[in-house]
Amino acid sequence: MVSSAVENAADQIAMWPDDEHPTHLFVCDEETSNPAVQRVDLSKPASCNATTIVTGLVSCDPVRRTPWGTIIVAEEAGATGGLYEIVDPLSINTPITVTNRTAGTTSDPLHLVKRRAVGSLLFESFAIEHDGTMIYGNELAPGLGNAGGALYKFVPAVPFTGGGPVTIPAVSPLASGTIFGLRVAASGSSNWGQGAEIGKGRWTVVDLGGANVVDASGNVILRTAQSLQKFTFRRSSIREPAASGCRCGQPSRVAALDLGVQSEGQGRRYRSLIFTRGFTDIYEALSAARRTPLPGRAGSRAPRLHWHDAIHDPA
Protein backbone atom coordinates (compact mmCIF):
# COMPACT_ATOMS: atom_id res chain seq x y z
CA MET A 1 0.00 0.00 0.00
CA VAL A 2 1.31 3.45 -0.94
CA SER A 3 -0.98 5.45 1.33
CA SER A 4 -4.09 4.96 3.41
CA ALA A 5 -4.01 8.58 4.57
CA VAL A 6 -5.21 10.22 1.36
CA GLU A 7 -8.83 11.22 0.89
CA ASN A 8 -10.92 8.38 -0.55
CA ALA A 9 -12.00 10.54 -3.51
CA ALA A 10 -8.46 10.92 -4.84
CA ASP A 11 -8.29 11.27 -8.61
CA GLN A 12 -5.22 12.03 -10.73
CA ILE A 13 -1.67 11.85 -9.35
CA ALA A 14 1.64 13.55 -10.22
CA MET A 15 5.02 12.14 -9.18
CA TRP A 16 7.83 14.27 -7.73
CA PRO A 17 10.59 15.10 -8.62
CA ASP A 18 10.36 12.70 -11.58
CA ASP A 19 8.53 9.58 -12.71
CA GLU A 20 11.47 7.21 -12.32
CA HIS A 21 12.50 7.83 -8.70
CA PRO A 22 9.67 9.70 -6.97
CA THR A 23 9.94 10.80 -3.36
CA HIS A 24 6.48 12.38 -3.23
CA LEU A 25 3.10 12.22 -4.91
CA PHE A 26 0.66 15.09 -5.44
CA VAL A 27 -2.98 14.05 -5.47
CA CYS A 28 -6.18 15.85 -6.52
CA ASP A 29 -9.24 15.05 -4.40
CA GLU A 30 -12.19 15.32 -6.75
CA GLU A 31 -15.15 15.03 -4.39
CA THR A 32 -13.99 17.27 -1.55
CA SER A 33 -12.87 20.88 -1.12
CA ASN A 34 -11.07 20.09 2.12
CA PRO A 35 -8.74 18.51 1.24
CA ALA A 36 -8.50 19.56 -2.41
CA VAL A 37 -4.82 18.73 -2.99
CA GLN A 38 -2.64 16.44 -0.87
CA ARG A 39 1.08 15.68 -0.87
CA VAL A 40 2.19 12.13 -0.08
CA ASP A 41 5.67 11.53 1.38
CA LEU A 42 6.73 8.09 0.17
CA SER A 43 9.37 7.77 2.89
CA LYS A 44 6.73 7.71 5.64
CA PRO A 45 4.33 4.97 6.77
CA ALA A 46 1.26 4.60 4.57
CA SER A 47 -1.04 5.43 7.47
CA CYS A 48 0.37 8.92 8.05
CA ASN A 49 2.13 10.12 4.91
CA ALA A 50 -0.42 12.57 3.45
CA THR A 51 -0.38 16.33 4.02
CA THR A 52 -3.18 18.62 2.86
CA ILE A 53 -1.66 21.56 1.00
CA VAL A 54 -4.70 23.14 -0.74
CA THR A 55 -8.35 23.58 0.26
CA GLY A 56 -11.23 25.44 -1.36
CA LEU A 57 -11.15 24.03 -4.89
CA VAL A 58 -14.20 22.36 -6.40
CA SER A 59 -13.77 18.97 -8.11
CA CYS A 60 -9.98 19.01 -8.37
CA ASP A 61 -9.21 16.48 -11.09
CA PRO A 62 -6.07 16.81 -13.26
CA VAL A 63 -2.65 17.37 -11.68
CA ARG A 64 0.75 17.57 -13.40
CA ARG A 65 4.37 18.33 -12.60
CA THR A 66 5.68 21.09 -14.85
CA PRO A 67 9.12 21.18 -16.52
CA TRP A 68 9.91 24.29 -14.47
CA GLY A 69 9.38 22.65 -11.10
CA THR A 70 5.85 23.56 -10.06
CA ILE A 71 2.61 21.59 -9.74
CA ILE A 72 -0.53 22.53 -11.64
CA VAL A 73 -4.01 21.39 -10.69
CA ALA A 74 -7.38 22.20 -12.20
CA GLU A 75 -11.08 21.97 -11.43
CA GLU A 76 -13.52 19.78 -13.32
CA ALA A 77 -16.22 22.22 -12.32
CA GLY A 78 -18.45 23.34 -15.17
CA ALA A 79 -17.60 26.28 -17.40
CA THR A 80 -15.92 28.14 -14.53
CA GLY A 81 -13.33 25.56 -13.49
CA GLY A 82 -9.95 27.16 -12.86
CA LEU A 83 -6.34 26.09 -13.27
CA TYR A 84 -3.98 26.79 -10.36
CA GLU A 85 -0.21 26.66 -10.07
CA ILE A 86 1.50 25.55 -6.85
CA VAL A 87 4.97 27.07 -6.45
CA ASP A 88 7.65 25.34 -4.34
CA PRO A 89 5.18 22.57 -3.43
CA LEU A 90 7.46 20.74 -0.98
CA SER A 91 7.70 23.79 1.28
CA ILE A 92 3.97 24.00 2.01
CA ASN A 93 3.11 22.58 5.43
CA THR A 94 -0.05 24.57 6.21
CA PRO A 95 -3.04 24.30 3.86
CA ILE A 96 -3.45 27.20 1.45
CA THR A 97 -7.11 28.15 0.96
CA VAL A 98 -8.72 29.35 -2.24
CA THR A 99 -10.86 32.10 -0.72
CA ASN A 100 -12.67 33.17 -3.89
CA ARG A 101 -12.67 30.90 -6.95
CA THR A 102 -14.05 33.52 -9.33
CA ALA A 103 -11.54 36.18 -8.33
CA GLY A 104 -8.78 33.62 -7.91
CA THR A 105 -7.73 34.87 -4.49
CA THR A 106 -5.81 32.56 -2.15
CA SER A 107 -4.47 32.77 1.38
CA ASP A 108 -0.89 32.50 0.08
CA PRO A 109 -0.52 34.06 -3.40
CA LEU A 110 3.23 33.44 -3.39
CA HIS A 111 2.64 29.68 -3.46
CA LEU A 112 -0.83 29.23 -5.02
CA VAL A 113 -1.94 31.26 -8.05
CA LYS A 114 -4.94 30.99 -10.35
CA ARG A 115 -3.78 31.03 -13.96
CA ARG A 116 -6.49 33.06 -15.69
CA ALA A 117 -4.36 33.27 -18.82
CA VAL A 118 -5.18 29.65 -19.77
CA GLY A 119 -8.93 30.17 -19.43
CA SER A 120 -11.75 28.57 -17.43
CA LEU A 121 -13.06 25.14 -18.34
CA LEU A 122 -14.41 21.86 -17.03
CA PHE A 123 -10.81 20.60 -16.99
CA GLU A 124 -10.18 16.89 -17.46
CA SER A 125 -6.54 16.73 -18.49
CA PHE A 126 -3.60 18.58 -19.99
CA ALA A 127 -0.26 17.86 -21.64
CA ILE A 128 2.68 20.24 -21.29
CA GLU A 129 5.64 20.94 -23.56
CA HIS A 130 9.00 21.91 -22.05
CA ASP A 131 8.57 25.56 -23.06
CA GLY A 132 5.16 25.85 -21.40
CA THR A 133 2.96 25.23 -24.43
CA MET A 134 -0.02 23.30 -23.12
CA ILE A 135 -2.79 21.24 -24.74
CA TYR A 136 -5.93 20.75 -22.66
CA GLY A 137 -9.61 20.01 -22.82
CA ASN A 138 -12.63 18.54 -21.11
CA GLU A 139 -14.46 15.23 -21.43
CA LEU A 140 -17.88 16.50 -22.40
CA ALA A 141 -19.79 14.40 -24.89
CA PRO A 142 -22.60 16.06 -26.88
CA GLY A 143 -26.04 15.90 -25.30
CA LEU A 144 -29.52 17.38 -25.65
CA GLY A 145 -28.50 19.00 -28.91
CA ASN A 146 -25.49 20.75 -27.39
CA ALA A 147 -21.96 20.34 -28.71
CA GLY A 148 -19.42 18.30 -26.80
CA GLY A 149 -16.01 19.47 -25.65
CA ALA A 150 -13.05 20.92 -27.51
CA LEU A 151 -9.25 20.99 -27.47
CA TYR A 152 -7.30 24.12 -26.62
CA LYS A 153 -3.68 25.20 -26.85
CA PHE A 154 -1.99 27.77 -24.61
CA VAL A 155 1.19 29.39 -25.94
CA PRO A 156 3.15 31.34 -23.29
CA ALA A 157 4.16 34.93 -23.96
CA VAL A 158 7.52 34.16 -22.33
CA PRO A 159 8.45 30.49 -22.92
CA PHE A 160 10.43 28.53 -20.37
CA THR A 161 13.99 28.09 -21.62
CA GLY A 162 15.42 25.93 -18.86
CA GLY A 163 17.50 26.63 -15.80
CA GLY A 164 16.44 26.25 -12.20
CA PRO A 165 12.87 25.85 -10.93
CA VAL A 166 10.46 28.77 -11.04
CA THR A 167 10.01 30.12 -7.51
CA ILE A 168 8.35 33.46 -8.32
CA PRO A 169 4.78 33.16 -9.66
CA ALA A 170 5.11 36.12 -12.02
CA VAL A 171 7.88 34.48 -14.07
CA SER A 172 6.02 31.23 -14.75
CA PRO A 173 5.30 30.66 -18.45
CA LEU A 174 1.64 30.25 -17.46
CA ALA A 175 1.43 33.87 -16.28
CA SER A 176 0.47 35.21 -19.71
CA GLY A 177 0.00 33.97 -23.23
CA THR A 178 -2.43 33.24 -26.05
CA ILE A 179 -5.22 30.64 -26.17
CA PHE A 180 -6.13 28.79 -29.36
CA GLY A 181 -9.04 26.46 -30.08
CA LEU A 182 -8.82 23.51 -32.50
CA ARG A 183 -10.78 23.28 -35.72
CA VAL A 184 -10.58 20.18 -37.92
CA ALA A 185 -11.58 19.80 -41.57
CA ALA A 186 -10.62 17.72 -44.58
CA SER A 187 -8.18 19.30 -47.02
CA GLY A 188 -9.81 22.22 -48.81
CA SER A 189 -13.10 21.65 -47.02
CA SER A 190 -15.25 24.26 -45.33
CA ASN A 191 -17.01 21.53 -43.35
CA TRP A 192 -15.47 22.31 -39.99
CA GLY A 193 -17.47 22.11 -36.80
CA GLN A 194 -18.55 19.63 -34.17
CA GLY A 195 -18.89 16.71 -36.57
CA ALA A 196 -15.49 17.08 -38.24
CA GLU A 197 -12.88 14.70 -36.86
CA ILE A 198 -10.59 13.64 -39.69
CA GLY A 199 -8.47 16.13 -41.59
CA LYS A 200 -6.01 18.91 -40.98
CA GLY A 201 -6.17 20.68 -37.67
CA ARG A 202 -6.04 24.45 -37.50
CA TRP A 203 -5.51 26.40 -34.30
CA THR A 204 -7.73 29.48 -34.13
CA VAL A 205 -7.04 32.28 -31.66
CA VAL A 206 -9.74 32.57 -29.01
CA ASP A 207 -11.52 35.87 -29.59
CA LEU A 208 -11.43 37.63 -26.23
CA GLY A 209 -13.76 40.29 -27.61
CA GLY A 210 -16.61 37.84 -28.12
CA ALA A 211 -19.81 38.33 -26.16
CA ASN A 212 -19.38 37.10 -22.56
CA VAL A 213 -16.10 35.32 -23.35
CA VAL A 214 -14.31 37.28 -20.61
CA ASP A 215 -16.22 37.73 -17.35
CA ALA A 216 -16.05 40.64 -14.91
CA SER A 217 -13.15 39.03 -13.02
CA GLY A 218 -11.05 38.54 -16.14
CA ASN A 219 -11.70 34.81 -16.56
CA VAL A 220 -11.79 33.55 -20.16
CA ILE A 221 -14.84 31.27 -20.40
CA LEU A 222 -13.75 28.78 -23.04
CA ARG A 223 -17.12 27.05 -23.31
CA THR A 224 -18.58 30.37 -24.47
CA ALA A 225 -15.72 30.89 -26.92
CA GLN A 226 -16.28 27.39 -28.31
CA SER A 227 -19.94 28.11 -28.91
CA LEU A 228 -19.16 31.36 -30.73
CA GLN A 229 -16.20 30.12 -32.78
CA LYS A 230 -17.31 26.51 -33.35
CA PHE A 231 -14.21 24.74 -32.08
CA THR A 232 -14.39 21.02 -32.74
CA PHE A 233 -13.36 17.88 -30.96
CA ARG A 234 -15.66 14.90 -31.24
CA ARG A 235 -18.85 13.86 -32.90
CA SER A 236 -21.88 12.62 -31.02
CA SER A 237 -20.74 9.01 -31.04
CA ILE A 238 -18.16 6.55 -32.35
CA ARG A 239 -19.78 3.37 -33.58
CA GLU A 240 -17.90 0.12 -33.18
CA PRO A 241 -18.68 -3.39 -34.46
CA ALA A 242 -20.45 -5.91 -32.27
CA ALA A 243 -17.22 -7.90 -31.92
CA SER A 244 -15.79 -5.13 -29.76
CA GLY A 245 -18.46 -5.69 -27.13
CA CYS A 246 -21.13 -3.68 -28.94
CA ARG A 247 -20.56 -0.36 -27.28
CA CYS A 248 -22.36 0.98 -30.33
CA GLY A 249 -23.12 4.67 -30.25
CA GLN A 250 -21.15 5.19 -27.04
CA PRO A 251 -20.52 8.92 -26.52
CA SER A 252 -16.85 9.69 -26.99
CA ARG A 253 -14.92 11.38 -24.19
CA VAL A 254 -11.33 12.06 -23.28
CA ALA A 255 -10.03 11.04 -19.87
CA ALA A 256 -6.30 11.73 -20.21
CA LEU A 257 -3.82 13.51 -22.44
CA ASP A 258 -0.11 13.02 -23.02
CA LEU A 259 2.40 14.14 -25.64
CA GLY A 260 3.81 11.44 -27.88
CA VAL A 261 6.77 11.07 -30.21
CA GLN A 262 8.24 14.23 -31.72
CA SER A 263 9.25 14.21 -35.37
CA GLU A 264 10.29 16.66 -38.06
CA GLY A 265 9.44 17.02 -41.71
CA GLN A 266 9.53 19.71 -44.40
CA GLY A 267 11.12 22.19 -42.02
CA ARG A 268 8.41 21.82 -39.38
CA ARG A 269 8.21 20.14 -36.02
CA TYR A 270 5.39 17.73 -35.21
CA ARG A 271 4.09 16.13 -32.08
CA SER A 272 1.38 13.56 -31.55
CA LEU A 273 -1.20 13.80 -28.82
CA ILE A 274 -2.01 10.54 -27.06
CA PHE A 275 -5.40 10.37 -25.41
CA THR A 276 -7.75 7.86 -23.88
CA ARG A 277 -11.46 7.68 -24.47
CA GLY A 278 -13.12 6.50 -21.34
CA PHE A 279 -10.69 4.45 -19.30
CA THR A 280 -9.65 1.68 -21.68
CA ASP A 281 -9.16 2.78 -25.27
CA ILE A 282 -5.92 4.54 -26.21
CA TYR A 283 -5.51 6.48 -29.41
CA GLU A 284 -2.86 8.72 -30.91
CA ALA A 285 -4.18 11.77 -32.67
CA LEU A 286 -2.75 14.92 -34.20
CA SER A 287 0.02 12.93 -35.86
CA ALA A 288 1.70 14.55 -38.83
CA ALA A 289 4.89 13.97 -40.87
CA ARG A 290 3.51 10.61 -42.05
CA ARG A 291 -0.03 10.83 -43.40
CA THR A 292 -1.14 7.85 -41.37
CA PRO A 293 -1.84 7.45 -37.63
CA LEU A 294 1.10 6.65 -35.42
CA PRO A 295 1.15 3.07 -34.08
CA GLY A 296 -1.02 2.48 -31.03
CA ARG A 297 0.57 1.67 -27.71
CA ALA A 298 0.97 -1.96 -26.71
CA GLY A 299 -2.34 -3.51 -25.79
CA SER A 300 -4.37 -0.62 -27.16
CA ARG A 301 -6.90 -0.47 -29.92
CA ALA A 302 -5.73 0.72 -33.31
CA PRO A 303 -5.76 4.52 -33.47
CA ARG A 304 -8.56 5.84 -35.60
CA LEU A 305 -8.68 9.61 -35.19
CA HIS A 306 -5.94 11.31 -37.17
CA TRP A 307 -5.97 15.08 -37.03
CA HIS A 308 -2.86 16.11 -38.95
CA ASP A 309 -0.54 19.06 -38.46
CA ALA A 310 -2.41 20.39 -35.48
CA ILE A 311 -0.19 20.88 -32.45
CA HIS A 312 2.49 23.12 -33.93
CA ASP A 313 0.58 24.53 -36.88
CA PRO A 314 1.20 28.29 -36.50
CA ALA A 315 -2.17 28.97 -38.10
SS3 label, residue 268: strand
Position 237 in a domain: no
Position 247 in a domain: no
- Say if residue 166 is in the same domain as residue 294: no
259 phi and psi angles, rounded to 5 deg? -90, 135
Q: Is the peptide bond before 17 cis (omega within 30 degrees of 0)?
A: yes
pLDDT > 70: what percent of the chain?
Answer: 65
Position 249 in a domain: no
> Does residue 314 have a pLDDT over 90?
no
**Measured CA angle at 92 (ends 89, 95), to 5 deg:** 115
Smallest CA-to-CA distance from 137 within 13, 301, 276 is with 276
- Say if residue 187 is in the same domain as residue 274: no
CA–CA separation, 238 and 277 (whole Å): 10
- Say if residue 68 is in the same domain as residue 197: yes
> Does residue 161 have a pLDDT over 50?
yes
- Final residue of a domain: which of 176, 195, 229? 229
Residue 251: predicted pLDDT = 34
**pLDDT digit string (tens) for 85-120?**
999 999 999 999 999 999 999 999 999 999 999 999
Position 295 in a domain: yes
Domain range enclosing 22: 10-229
Given pLDDT bands bounded at 50, 70 and 90, which one contains residue 295? very low
- Say if residue 173 is in the same domain as residue 276: no
How confident is the model over 221-234, as a mean pLDDT? 83
> Does residue 142 have a pLDDT over 80?
no
Contacts of residue 169, defined as CB under 8 A and 6 or more positions apart, other chains included, come to 85, 87, 109, 110, 113, 175
Q: Is the pTM of this model over 0.75?
A: yes
> Does residue 256 have a pLDDT over 80?
no
> Does residue 260 have a pLDDT over 80?
no
Number of domains making up the chain: 2
Position 235 in a domain: no
- Say if residue 301 is in the same domain as residue 154: no
